[in-house]
Amino acid sequence: MNNKKNFNYLLSDLTKLKGVGNKISNLLKKKKINTIFDLLWKLPKSYTDRGISSKIKDLRISELQTVNVVPYKYNFPRIRNLPNKVLCKDETGNLDCIFFNSYEGYIRKILPIGKEVAISGKIGHFKNRYQIINPQYVSENSSLIEAKHNQYSLTEGITEKMYNKIIKQVIKDLPKLDEWHSKEILENFNNISWYDSINELHKPENIGKYNSSFYQRLAFDEIFSSYLVHSEVRKKIKKIKKKEKILDYVKQDYLISKLDFKLTKDQLKVLNEINKDLSSNQKMFRLLQGDVGSGKTIIALISALNVINSGFQVAVMAPTEILAKQHFNLAKKILGSFLKIELLSSKSEYKEKKRILNNLSSHKINLIFGTHSIFQKRVEFKNLGLIIIDEQHKFGVNQRKMLSDKGGVDCDVLLMSATPIPRTLTMTIYGDMDLSIIREKPNERKDIQTYTKLESKINDIIKFIKKEIRLGNQVFWVCPIIERSKKINHTSAIAKFEFLKKIFPKKVALLHGKTNQDEKDLILNNFLKRNYDILVSTTIIEVGIDFPNANIIIIEDANKFGLSQLHQLRGRVGRGKKQSSCILMFKSTLTENAKKRLKILKESNDGFKISEEDMKLRGYGDILGFKQSGIKTFKLADPILNENLFNLAEKEIKRIENNNEDISRFKTLMKLYDQADIINDIA
């Protein structure tokens, strides 16, 4: 087989395998195993050693064991639904083999009377006799029963024997692919090939050998393929030649001088990076990453002004209408005297929508805000020059590329993220984009004071809140669940709302995931207008809505949240110039791990540092926004355990890019591991 045929075999449908029909294929697909290649990453969790044969008197109930016996009597009842039974013995005792749904002829063939056979299966005990129900293996020679037998976490309907048979078939037919790595890279893994690595990976004695050459090589392949795809997307975007935007720095500096705060060094540095992209002939595809409250929005608005002053339109997409409206109001306040700004909302009247769409297509609007609806087919721009996207859309690489294409050749793209991501993950998630980071907080922003408080001290918290409300401040009260649960002992939002409204009548609102969108917008608007003093909610308030008058947040059962999520929730306050507080409530019993998490949060307001610590404590799959985002999780690689491999992959990608190397040798690697439509045209 040539390399292309080998490649096609690995990406074939499961039904290509012997013994795999539509029924088994559909069961495997429930476990996200869609191709033969996917089967390779379903690793054994443990193994059973069937090579050791026991005597009947030494059998252990509920364990998988192998025993040599002699069948001496058949018991085939004539009553339907009763099982068939074969009585067996050795010199130490008796054992019954029980068969459900097996024919007499088959049983007589595999268990002939008076002939010694080896039987392997789970040992049971019934009426003082050992038994094996539906033996997994029966053989005339115990040496023919495979000694070590892998055990997997399987979906219902697929037996271990069946799955082992499928895996053995795949490993037996595994193609020897041409090597894609350089000699220098292979030296890091003792020169082991992909083929040999896969074979080693599935040997029972290698379960859990994460530091072995074969495991490390395969983890590196996974990381490196992800980096390669992003690198290719970056190159494709850089090849697009766009019209250079002529920036008016006099107008930019005039706007900055009129702000009632001073931009930080980080903000000025990032603005300079964006301006370089805008004024170049290469398309901007940039991520602006900054901690909560670091001042990303103002940089985005100044960038929008620069693009508009060069003759283009700008579209800003937010995840919710209330956030789009908040951005719109800020833009009107800062840029309203310079530009024609509009908000496209689903709540707008038909005539109003029609007017906005007409004005947009005739370039009577410079800057438009909205949700994803501003990129529907019916929305036409006259000369779109910049798309600014809020992070909460959590676009994957393909979606980002499609959005970039939709804007047209001359349209730059700026994605904003308020979720600090550990460095090892940045290239994995956003490697297709150039990166700008704002770490520094504005000078007028005060660090949020964070306290921990036992749930039993609720009266102290109520006293503190009453004082804050008298001073004209507002409070967020966050609970982990909506309603009381018999299964988990967590404080519910509804119960807390009922409790608080008795103490603060007509001053408490309730918000959670079951609240419909219109009602949610109404509640948030009323809270923004200070019609309520306290907003009780679940974690849905963590989206970047700005309530400058809310300076207290109380988080119930804080030990049940990850560090990154607690930090994001804490970021809902401290948006104004007042001193803000975050109170982390917990029940009396805290694990050592929970104590560590709360201690880190109390000691730091740095989201980047917190996300690194969170990843170490909880694993990368639980980092806020990662699991929920649809971003692919690795099958073998781990950013904590394999940080050295991430660094090696980054170094190798930079070397390849700097030397402008031909990457055609990596085509198989990329298509196998990423199967991304974006690279299907790479020859």
What is residue 662's DSSP assignment? -
Same-domain status, 61 and 35: no
Q: Phi/psi class of residue 124: alpha, beta or left (left: φ > 0; alpha: ψ in -120 to 50)?
A: beta
Kindly give the pairing relationship between strand 384-390 and strand 412-417: parallel
> What is the torsion angle, in degrees rounded to the nearest 10, for the CA atoms of residue 226, residue 228, residue 233 and residue 234?
110
Q: What is the pLDDT of residue 558?
A: 85
Separation of alpha carbons 137 and 146, rounded Å: 9
Same-domain status, 298 and 422: yes
Same-domain status, 461 and 569: yes
Is 628 contained in some domain?
no
Distances (CA, A) of 680 to 74, 102, 216, 429: 61, 49, 27, 20
Q: What is the pLDDT of residue 315?
A: 92
Q: What is the pLDDT of residue 196?
A: 95
What is residue 209's DSSP assignment? -
Same-domain status, 466 and 540: yes
Same-domain status, 305 and 411: yes
Is 260 contained in some domain?
yes
Q: Which CATH number is 162's domain given? A: 1.10.150
Neighbours of 222 (CB within 10 A): 22
Same-domain status, 460 and 543: yes
What average pLDDT values come out for the chain (683 residues) when binned by 10 residues?
68 86 85 86 70 84 87 90 91 93 88 90 89 84 56 68 83 90 94 94 84 94 90 83 92 90 92 96 90 87 95 89 85 87 84 89 92 80 90 61 72 86 74 85 80 88 92 90 61 85 90 80 85 88 71 88 83 79 84 81 83 71 41 74 90 91 88 63 42
Q: What is the pLDDT of residue 628?
A: 37
Separation of alpha carbons 483 and 472, rounded Å: 30
Same-domain status, 28 and 167: yes
Is 151 contained in some domain?
no
**How far from chain centre, in Å, is Cα 650?**
21
Are 507 and 468 contacting, i.e. CB atoms less than 8 angstroms apart? Answer: no
Q: Which CATH number is 387's domain given? A: 3.40.50.300
Same-domain status, 218 and 320: no
Same-domain status, 492 and 527: yes
Out of 604, 619, 653, a domain closes at 604
Is 87 contained in some domain?
yes
Out of 438, 465, 480, a domain closes at 438
Same-domain status, 466 and 589: yes
Is 411 contained in some domain?
yes
Q: What is the DSSP string of 609-630?
A: HHHHHHHHHH-GGGSTTTGGGT
Based on its alpha-carbon atoms, the radius of gyration of the chain, rounded to whole angstroms, reads 32
Is 309 contained in some domain?
yes
Separation of alpha carbons 439 and 263, rounded Å: 13
Question: Counting every residue, how long is the chain?
Answer: 683
Distances (CA, A) of 317 to 339, 421, 597: 18, 22, 34
Same-domain status, 392 and 363: yes
Same-domain status, 337 and 473: no
Separation of alpha carbons 445 and 25, rounded Å: 57
The enclosing H or E element of 297 equals: helix 296-309
Is 617 contained in some domain?
no
Is 639 contained in some domain?
no
Are 270 and 302 contacting, i.e. CB atoms less than 8 angstroms apart? Answer: no
Q: How many domains does the chain have?
A: 5
Expressed as residue numbers, the domain containing 305 is 249-438
Any residues with CB less than 8 A from the CB of 503 and at least 6 apart, and which? 462
